[in-house]
Amino acid sequence: LRMARLVDDLLSLSRIELDKNIRPREIIDLAPLFENVATTTAVALEADKRQLVLDIAPDLPPVIADKDQVLQVLHNLMTNAIKYGRPGTPITVSAERAKALQGEVVRISIADVGDGIAAEHIPRLTERFYRIDTGRSRRLGGTGLGLAIVKHIVERHRGTLEISSEQGVGTTVSVTLPASVSQI
């Protein structure tokens, strides 16, 4: 099973890299994607006695994106928040409009309450197979490719990825995606 996940992640990463110079053109409403993530993670959240807090701005514009890839980003980030956050604590998914140098964007953040990540590890988290605690990561079922996949998807979308963490408090991962200008 672990080998199958590893092969799936490697194939996924290869496909993303092949398309890296092709900008997505679909106009995507994010609300159904947030609902999908809430539904697909409900069992894991319940098992850990955790709740998902959705804080989605009411004026959220659609984004220009590849729907399946955005869903993969959300699932990878939620999986990490579930794995590395503390049982019994909430995971917050927020989304809001924001301004960026390249124009209007949507900023999506996923925050957990957990042990956090030491500052020296943060720059390397998106490297393939990089792990802070190899034994724990393997025990929790990770392939070491989740954040590398997120990084490459976000780059393909001409977005940004930011990881902020405080030890003993938790981690927030934020991505921006270009908003659909025609809807603003």
Indicate if the pLDDT at residue 78 is higher than 90: yes
For 97-123, b/e burial (b = at least 16 CB within 10 A) is eeeeeeebbbbbbbbbbbbbbeeeeee
Mean pLDDT of 121-127: 78
CA distance 83 to 4: 19
Model pTM? Answer: 0.85
Domains for the chain: give ranges and CATH numbers.
2-183 (3.30.565.10)
Residues 83-118 pLDDT 10s: 999 999 999 999 999 988 778 999 999 999 999 888
CA distance 136 to 109: 24
CA distance 119 to 130: 15
At position 4, the amino acid (one-letter code) is: A
- 30: which 2 tokens? 């994010």
Q: What is the pLDDT of residue 183?
A: 43
Residues 20-67 pLDDT 10s: 777 888 999 999 999 999 999 999 999 999 999 999 999 999 999 999
- Which one has a higher pLDDT value, 122 or 151? 151
Indicate if the pLDDT at residue 184 is higher than 50: no
Assign 156 to helix, strand or coil. Answer: helix
Indicate if the pLDDT at residue 134 is higher than 80: no
CA distance 181 to 62: 9
Among residues 78, 91, 77, the alpha carbon closest in space to that of 153 is found at 77
Residues 140-157 pLDDT 10s: 566 678 888 899 899 989
Q: What is the pLDDT of residue 16?
A: 73
Mean pLDDT of 149-175: 93
**Where does 85-145 have alpha helices with state H?**
134-139
